């Protein structure tokens, strides 16, 4: 029996490279995307650029501090997260918050949170009812445009404590032609953030122009 695809309404905070990549995959899955920028014109420009790529989904521009739909992606530098958590406050209550950030000190290529993780720090900043899922921090923005590297669909590793929230993010990932790999509860984010850091550091050494992917094969 063919499963009917369930489309979702997703807000993306940020209008940079990852916002473009993730929006492209969400639109390919027929979802409805609302982009929120923090400087005038940026969200409008990205929405205009991506309009033509929408396959059954739609893209629009939202207002700062407002969330449309159940799922919201934080497509911003880790350093911006605290102020965004304050700015959105209770608007995040009951939502699924997807943290894609890599909290790295780029001068030394070390984690900002040795022995812990950025996601665990974010949980302390958001309403108790917000369900955090870490995902997409190991996939490079440029590779999300086609969703493939070397002809193979990208693996999107994710972790979080809420099983229902991870099931919904799995649907979004799979509808966009990617493979979702649930690696377990929030504590596993420590390893996912280390994977993200290692991927960045190793692609720099191999000079692959941020167009590589981490793949699990069996």
In the block, tokens 């692959």 appear at 208
155-159 and 131-135 as β-strands: parallel, antiparallel, unpaired? antiparallel
Interaction residues for ligand NAP, span 99-118 (CB under 6 A) = 100-102
How far is the C-alpha of 208 from the C-alpha of 218, rounded, in Å? Answer: 24
Residue selected from 50, 71, 84, 132 as contacting ligand NAP according to rule CB under 6 A: 84
Closer Cβ to ligand NAP, 2 or 114, answer by number? 114
The yes or no reply on residue 210 touching ligand NAP (CB under 6 A) is yes
Residue selected from 12, 26, 27, 75 as contacting ligand NAP according to rule CB under 6 A: 75
User: Tokens at residue 72, please?
Assistant: 């919201």
Residue selected from 76, 92, 98, 159 as contacting ligand NAP according to rule CB under 6 A: 76
201 SS3 class: helix
Nearest approach, Cβ of residue 178 and ligand NAP (Å): 14
Nearest approach, Cβ of residue 138 and ligand NAP (Å): 7
Residue selected from 7, 9, 60, 80 as contacting ligand NAP according to rule CB under 6 A: 80
Beta bridge partners of 34: 11, 60
Interaction residues for ligand NAP, span 3-32 (CB under 6 A) = 13-19
The yes or no reply on residue 86 touching ligand NAP (CB under 6 A) is no
Residue selected from 7, 38, 113, 125 as contacting ligand NAP according to rule CB under 6 A: 38
Burial class (CB in 10 A: 0-12, 13-18, 19+), 48: exposed
The yes or no reply on residue 42 touching ligand NAP (CB under 6 A) is yes
For the chain, what's the residue count? Answer: 218
Please name which of 169, 89, 76, 82 lies closest in space to residue 127, comparing C-alpha atoms: 89
State which H helix or E strand residue 193 sits in.
helix 189-206
Closer Cβ to ligand NAP, 18 or 28, answer by number? 18
The yes or no reply on residue 163 touching ligand NAP (CB under 6 A) is no
Name all contacts of 83-89 with Cβ < 8 Å and 24+ positions apart. 84/13, 85/122, 85/125, 85/126, 86/125, 88/13, 89/127
Q: Which residue number is nearest to ligand NAP in terms of Cβ?
A: 16
Nearest approach, Cβ of residue 85 and ligand NAP (Å): 10
User: Which positions lie near ligand NAP, rule CB under 6 A?
Assistant: 13-19, 37-39, 42, 75-78, 80, 83-84, 100-102, 137, 140-141, 210
């Amino acid at each position: 029996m063919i499963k009917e695809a369930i489309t979702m309404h997703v807000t993306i905070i940020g209008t940079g490279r990852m916002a473009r990549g993730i929006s492209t995959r969400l639109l390919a899955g027929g979802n409805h995307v609302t982009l929120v920028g923090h400087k005038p014109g940026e969200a409008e420009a990205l929405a205009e650029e991506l309009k033509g790529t929408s396959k059954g989904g739609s893209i629009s521009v939202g207002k700062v501090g407002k969330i449309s739909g159940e799922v919201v992606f934080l497509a911003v530098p880790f350093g911006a997260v605290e102020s965004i958590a304050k700015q959105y406050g209770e608007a995040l209550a009951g939502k699924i918050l997807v943290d894609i950030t890599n909290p790295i000190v780029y001068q030394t290529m070390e984690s900002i949170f040795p022995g812990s993780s950025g996601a665990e720090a974010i949980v302390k900043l958001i309403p108790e009812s917000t369900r955090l899922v870490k995902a997409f921090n190991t996939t490079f923005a440029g590779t999300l445009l086609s969703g493939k590297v070397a002809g193979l669909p990208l693996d999107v590793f994710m972790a979080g404590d809420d099983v229902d929230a991870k099931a919904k993010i799995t649907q979004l990932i799979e509808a966009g032609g990617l493979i979702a790999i649930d690696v377990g509860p929030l504590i596993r984010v420590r390893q996912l953030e280390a994977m993200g850091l290692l991927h960045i550091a190793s692609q720099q050494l191999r000079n692959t122009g941020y167009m590589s992917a981490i793949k699990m094969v069996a």
